[in-house]
A and B are shown apart, each in its own frame.
Chain A
Amino acid sequence: MPPETPLLALEGLTVDFDAGGRVARAVDGVDLAVGRGDAVGLVGESGSGKSVTWLAALGLLPSRARVAGRARLDGEDLVAAPRRRLEAIRGRRIAMIFQDPASSLNPVHRIGRQVEEAIRLHRGADDGAARAEAMRLLDQVGIADPRRRLDDYPHQLSGGMNQRVMIAIALAGRPDLLIADEPTTALDATIQAQILRLLGDLRRATGMAMVLISHDLGVVSENVDRVCVMYAGRVVEEAPADALFAQPRHPYTQGLLAALPSLTGPRQRLAAIPGTVPEPWNLPAGCSFAPRCPAAAAECLRTRTPGLALTPEHAVTCTRVLALRGSVWDRRQVAA
């Protein structure tokens, strides 16, 4: 394998849902690469396709979803892979944790059984070894008194503890890539901070790559190296985290940042993006953000925008970007 091959590469990934006669396009040609040990953030509002993209790559969508394009793991296409091959990859090469930890754990099985299940699955350990390893993993994710917690049921633990258990399960297969789908959205602020710190520590300790999916720009900015912004099923901007937040170039990214209130400094009126996200069965012909974009030109509405690399690391799908200076939203200095 040549060294420049990314760990995982999405190429033109497209997902259609058959929704009662009409076709809803949830993911619309996503290209994205995750290198070994990378931390990539995926930001977008609900319905932007940020979660569906990864569920599609792992074959976890219901059968009424039609997936096209490729998702190459070390060159091997997962979209075309048979089910048994995908099952061997899930958990072992690519693990995933979800938004609502309490309901992502089976309510009728003890914590220990659920962690051990993953350990036996990926390492073929016997019962005693699996239990010892489960205890080690719970300890690694910062659960105090792991021996006792093994016998607890999920409803006896707090949301933060359950998410730690989910992370322990994800670590059981020693994956190369962890996909964290809104891992802290259901948690309180102080618990969110704990979980994000834990994910960062584990990533540095194990060297695994991470995709952090979140609607929260703040969560993403502090925990990844590179950020992709998704809108209506497409990646509209991709850049190193610092560059993206210091100098967002896509009007949508600029709008998201301008819509956030700040905790210090003078209070000013928020720049709200007008209108709403287009319906997935009725995506615009041109740039999907054009109907809401204050800088849209006539051609934006007609033709789909190609990706434009501003620097080798900063790409944006906006034809107007070169003509624009600063933010298109009320000249508010977003980063300064």
Chain B
Amino acid sequence: MLSFIVSRAARAAITILLVVAFAFVVMRLSGDPALLILSVDAPPEAIEAFRKAWGLDRPIWEQFLTFATRALAGDFGRSMRDGRPALALVLERVPATLAITLPALALKLALGIPAGIFAALNRNSWADRAAMMASVAGFTMPSFVLALLLVLVFAVQLGWLPASGSDTPLHAVLPILTLGTAGAAIMARFTRSAMLEVLGQPYIRAASAKGLGWWLVVLRHALPNAAIPTVTIIGFMVGSLVAGAVIVESVFAWPGIGRLLVSSVANRDLAVVQSLLMVIAGWMVLANLAVDLAYGWLDPRVRTITSRAD
């Protein structure tokens, strides 16, 4: 178990390093922060001074080495706009994002899983077809379209909810709904197919032949097996808790990670973008690790590698 975690941690560190290094190079090649932050008409001396101050005049590999050694010591640089520590800037935005993505995740699971199970158990019924049609509509619609649609109905027409901003808890409702319904549609579809796959297995028929009532067969024998493939998609959703709301945050002017990412990329605020990517990648890696551990917990075939070889 320990060796498993160590090897996974090593792989995680490499993943994060690669993501950050890639972003480091691309961000520096794709635009000059000095010109963006100081504006193009700034005097050349000012631009030169800005570049020197932030170390942008040195070769890129040297810049990266400096960045990496400082990062290892816990210093992720400062924002070029207001000079505050970049990591702190990022971390203070996390709660705002989680305030909409966590309830949205709950909505996805609470709506999607039961809908998927229900559809699978009533395969080819009108309810199944209706649920799947709603699901297709839910995940083919781009989130900004859905967001605008919800704004149109709940803010403009009905006037029940605010259209954008973050002043009251009510402001969070439409972002949560936007994220949640699309995710629930994906979840429902995935759960349905996992469930159908399991219901066709011989052990389901064998459990019925034992004399178990149908609901016990579903609860004890079908659901635990259907949960195994579903974990992948749930893990993906958990992984996107931090950075999965870029578009929705932009549409609703919600002050989370997503908006910070958009603005800092636009401004080439290098340290902030790097810190953001590090936090996002770190979280993704953690979510993946959780998925792997969940597999082992749910599926004994993963936990106890078979000693038989035929």
Contacts and interface: CB of A to CB of B under 8 A. Distances in A.
Contacts of A109: 220-221, 224
A168 B212 CA distance: 16
Interface string A87-123: 1111110011010100111111110000001100110
Given A98-B202, A153-B301, A156-B307, A108 B212 contact: no
B209 A95 contact: yes
B211 A87 contact: yes
A155 B306 contact: yes
B211 A92 contact: yes
A58 interface: yes
B218 to A, nearest CB: 12
A173 interface: yes
B210 A121 contact: yes
Interface of A: 55, 58, 60, 83-84, 87-92, 95-96, 98, 100, 103-110, 117-118, 121-122, 153, 155-156, 158, 166, 169, 173
A83 B215 CA distance: 12
B202 A173 contact: no
A166 B203 CA distance: 10
10 contacts: A55-B205, A58-B209, A100-B202, A106-B224, A106-B225, A107-B299, A108-B224, A109-B220, A121-B212, A122-B211
A295 B202 CA distance: 41
Contacts of A110: 300
B208 interface: yes
A158 B203 CA distance: 16
A88 B202 CA distance: 20
B213 to A, nearest CB: 5
B214 interface: yes
- Indicate the member of B209, B220, B224 with the most A CB atoms within 10 Å: B209
Contacts of B205: 55, 60, 98, 104
Contact of B212 (A55, A87, A100, A105): A87
B126 to A, nearest CB: 15
Nearest to B210: A91
A189 to B, nearest CB: 15
B203 A105 contact: yes
Given A103-B201, A104-B202, 11 more contacts: A60-B205, A90-B210, A91-B212, A98-B202, A104-B206, A107-B301, A117-B220, A122-B211, A155-B300, A155-B301, A156-B308
A104 B221 CA distance: 11
Contacts of A60: 205, 208-209
Interface residues of B, number: 26
B207 interface: yes
B209 A108 contact: no
- Which 10 residue pairs spanning A and B have beta carbons closest together? A91-B211, A90-B211, A104-B206, A96-B209, A153-B300, A103-B202, A91-B210, A106-B203, A104-B202, A108-B224
Interface in B172-231: 201-203, 205-214, 220-221, 224-225, 228
Contacts of A58: 209
Interface in B15-50: none
Given A103-B201, A107-B203, A118 B210 contact: yes
- Indicate the member of B207, B212, B225 with the most A CB atoms within 10 Å: B207
Interface in B208-256: 208-214, 220-221, 224-225, 228
Contact of B210 (A117, A153, A158): A117
Contacts of A83: 214
Given A103-B202, A105-B203, A108-B299, A90 B209 contact: yes
Contact of A108 (B208, B211, B298, B307): B298
Nearest to B209: A96
